[in-house]
Structure 1
Amino acid sequence: MRPVDLARQHGLSAQAIRNYDDAGVFPPTERSEAGYRRYTPLHAQALRTFLALRGGHGHRPATEIMHATNRGDTESAYRLVDATHAALLAERDTRIEVATALDALATATSTPVRGRPLTVGELARRLRVHPATLRTWESHGILRPDRDRATGYREYGPECVRDAEIARQLRRGGYPLTQVARFVDSLRTADGAAASTAFLDAWQDRLTTRSRALLAGAAQLDTYLTMLERARQT
């Protein structure tokens, strides 16, 4: 097959196929006497595998998996695959922690808030973050601490502490500060419970979609590994 033949099967350009080849996504490619690249069913499966892996792992990890596979280093390829699964599992755990924190928030807002305010240092130690992180969150509107009238120092009351704890969990889940700010702000409004449910549902849907993409990538990789083993035996 020519690059254009392989490209048409996946709605890609011939240049994209050449770029993937140069990037090491394909196994070694033979050329015709005129210098044109010649692709086989093995290269077609390599492309299917890469595109499927990219859906779950992302472009760079998928490329690294293909590099390791093509050079026969399956141990490294498996480790790369396992790393993505481990990260996804960690994100699932983070979502559960966030859901628990939001449930606690819903319960706490229905009862009087008590407890002395924390200083920036105390809150930073509580969350195990740097004080500068709290100031960054404040600049994005995530935290709204009061100020001591006498000293001017920041004071983080119970509501502010809860916002900070939620922000920490969301940041652990990989959410950008702008999205964390929008979410925390929505929880301060009357529709906070609805916003919380919608947010958690959307997060779960994203995790499910990625899990299915990882399964699809694993299936294509297994087929590719089988074809490589057969090719190397002939």
Structure 2
Amino acid sequence: MRPIDLAREHGLSAQAIRNYDDAGILPPTERSQTGYRRYTPLHAQALRAFLALRGGHGHQQAMEIMRSTNRGDTESAYRLIDAAHVALLAERNTRTEVATALGALSTTPTPISGRPLTVGELARRLGVHPATLRTWETEGILRPERDRVTGYREYGPDCVRDAQIAQQLRRGGYLLHQVAQFLDALRDAGGTDALSAFLDAWQDRLTTRSRNLLAGAAQLDAYLALLDLT
């Protein structure tokens, strides 16, 4: 088989196949007397395994899995695969925790008795440093009012709710700009629609990655079975 024969199945270029070969993603390749690479069904299955693994593990880790497999170090390959499943399980648990925490928060602000909270009061309520709240404001996560006389920040019901949601999302590993984007969507949607869409999209990503990991494992298993026969 020529590079183009392997490439055609996946809509790749012949050069991409040569690059994968040089990177150690494919098993050692024999060459013809004229120097051309000669591929076999084993190489074709290695390519299928790599492309399938890439969907769940990403390019770099999929490449490391194939390199380890091709040099006979299946223990390292299995460790990389196991680590991906452990990380996915941790994220799945985090998503459940965030969903539970956000579900306990009302997306409709509840009245705060008395005056709005100061930055220090809100920080104590959340158990964070006041500087954290100021950073969230800079990132567009919080939008406190200002006292007309003193200029001090005032956190009313909207800000308290947004701060509580931001705290849960940060615990879930979301970056500041992602938290800001979510709260913008929540404000635009006016309530629970954005919250449900956010949690549903997160669940969809987890499901997709789980399926991709399964697909990659199946193709790698087929490749290992061929290796056993060689």
- Deviations 1:81-136, CA, capped at 9 Å, x for gaps: 11111111122122222212322222773x32358544399469835x894x6544
Distance 1:134 1:117, change over 3 A: closer
Q: What is the correspondence of 1:45-194 to structure 2 with a 5 Å cutoff?
A: 45-106=45-106, 109=109, 111-114=110-113, 116-119=117-120, 122=123, 126-127=127-128, 131=131, 134-146=133-145, 159-171=158-170, 173=172, 175-189=174-188, 191-194=190-193
- C-alpha displacement at 1:72, in angstroms? 1.3
Matched residues in 2 for 1:14 and 1:69: separation?
A: 23
CA contact (8 A) 2:120 2:130 kept: no
Measure how far apart 1:185 and its partner are: 2.0
**Offset of residue 223 of structure 1:** 1.1
Cα RMSD, aligned residues only: 3.0
Residue 29 of structure 2 corresponds to residue 29 of structure 1:
yes
Partner Cα separation in structure 1 for residue 9 and residue 121 of structure 2: 58
| C-alpha contact 2:107 2:192 (8 A) present in aligned 1 | no
Partners in 1 of 2:15 and 2:42 — Cα distance?
19
Work out the percentage of aligned pairs sharing the same amino acid. Answer: 72
2:225 corresponding residue in structure 1: 226
CA–CA distance in structure 2, aligned partners of residues 169 and 33 of structure 1? 64
Which residue identity is paired with 2:27?
P
User: Aligned equivalents of 1:146 and 1:152: distance in 2?
Assistant: 9
Query: What displacement does 1:211 show?
Result: 0.7
- Is 1:210 the equivalent of 2:209? yes
8 Å Cα contact 2:46-2:223 kept in structure 1? yes
State how far apart, in whole Å, the 1-side matches of 2:3 and 2:97 are.
48
Structure 1: distance between partners of 2:138 and 2:170: 15
Cα offsets for 1:124-182 (capped at 9, x unmatched): 9835x894x65443222112245577876656566535434433443455545444212
C-alpha distance in 1 between matches for 2:130 and 2:74: 40
DSSP 3-state at the match of 1:112? coil
Paired positions, count = 228
Paired residue type of 2:19:
N
Paired amino acid for 1:90: A
TM norm structure 2: 0.84
**Secondary structure of 2:127 counterpart:** helix
Equivalent in the alignment of 1:17: 17
- Mapped to 1, the partners of 2:23 and 2:93 lie a distance apart of 35
Residues 52 and 213, structure 1, Cα contact 8 Å, conserved in 2: yes
- What is the alpha-carbon distance in structure 1 between the residues aligned to residue 86 and residue 150 of structure 2? 46
For 2:107 and 2:122, locate their aligned partners in 1 and report how far apart those are by CA, in whole Å: 27
2: CA distance between counterparts of 1:116 and 1:197?
Answer: 28
Q: Distance in 2 between matches of 1:54 and 1:10?
A: 13
Partner of 2:43: 43
Q: Secondary structure at the match of 2:34?
A: coil
1:106 counterpart SS class: coil
